[in-house]
Amino acid sequence: DAKTTQPTSMDCAEGRAANLPCNHSTISGNEYVYWYRQIHSQGPQYIIHGLKNNETNEMASLIITEDRKSSTLILPHATLRDTAVYYCIVRVVRAAGNKLTFGGGTRVLVKP
C-alpha cells in the first residue's frame, strides 16, 4: 500500500471549514484513498473513501486531484467534537484482507 504524508497538526476555528491535506504521490491505479479519525481514546471511525472522483457524505467531502497524487478532506463546518487525529490511508481493496496501515495522522484541534 502507498505511503501517505500528512501535516502533524493543525488548528481550526469552530464553525469554519477544516481542510486536511494528504500527499500520496506513489499511489497506484487500483488504490483507494480512505480517511479515518480517532477521537481521544476511542476506536477509529470511518469517514469517507474514494478512488478518482470527489466524494461527499454526511460527515465530510473528499477532493482527489486529477493525477491522484494528493487529496483533501473537508469538514464543512467544524465543531469542537471534530477535534481528533485524522488518518489518510491509501490501500488496495481486495476481496479479502482489508488491512489498514495507519501512519501518524494529523492532530486537528477545533477551537471555539
Binding site for other proteins (CB under 8 A): 34, 38, 41-46, 49, 93-105
Closer residue to other proteins, CB minimum distance, 16 or 56:
56
- Taking the complex as a whole, the smallest distance from the CB of residue 46 to other proteins amounts, in Å, to 4
Please give the full DSSP string across 22-42, using - where no structure is assigned.
EE-TT--TTEEEEEEEE-TTS
Return the number of the residue (41 or 53) whose C-beta is nearest other proteins: 41
Whether the CA torsion 27, 52, 34, 23 is positive or negative: it is: positive
Contact, 35 vs 48, CB < 8 A?
yes
Looking at residue 67, the DSSP 8-state letter turns out to be T
Nearer to other proteins, 45 or 56 (CB): 45
